[in-house]
Amino acid sequence: YPNPFNPVTNIKYSLAKPGFVKLIVYDVLGREVAILIKKQQETGSYNISFNVGSFASGVYFYRLESGNINLIKKMMVLK
């Protein structure tokens, strides 16, 4: 939230058990544009701020992976 956003959005997630977490942002063509998290994390709730900086307006996707969880969500940048 918020979505659409400019220039910062927050991505919230919770882990029911500890695990290796990857949170990666892709552009609409599937190219990796940012790695927000790539590390072991403990059980709990997390809030990651994502600043698009010089990214162009458009649609982006973030992918959250941890254990057998694989979640993809759409984000829209408006400038």
**Tens-digit pLDDT profile for residues 37-70:** 999 999 999 999 999 988 999 999 999 999 999 9
pLDDT at 5 over 90: no
Residue pair 15/46 in contact by the 8 Å Cβ criterion: yes
| pTM of the predicted protein model | 0.90
Query: Phi and psi (nearest 5°) for 10?
Result: -115, 135
Q: What is the mean pLDDT of residues 23-33?
A: 97
Pair 42, 33: CB distance under 8 Å? no
Average pLDDT, the chain: 93
Is residue 6 very low, low, confident or very high in pLDDT (cuts 50, 70, 90)? confident
β-bridge mates for residue 8, sequence order:
51
Buried b / exposed e across 29-45, counting CB within 10 Å, b at 16+? eeeeebeebeeeeeeee
Adjacent-strand bridge partners of 48 = 11
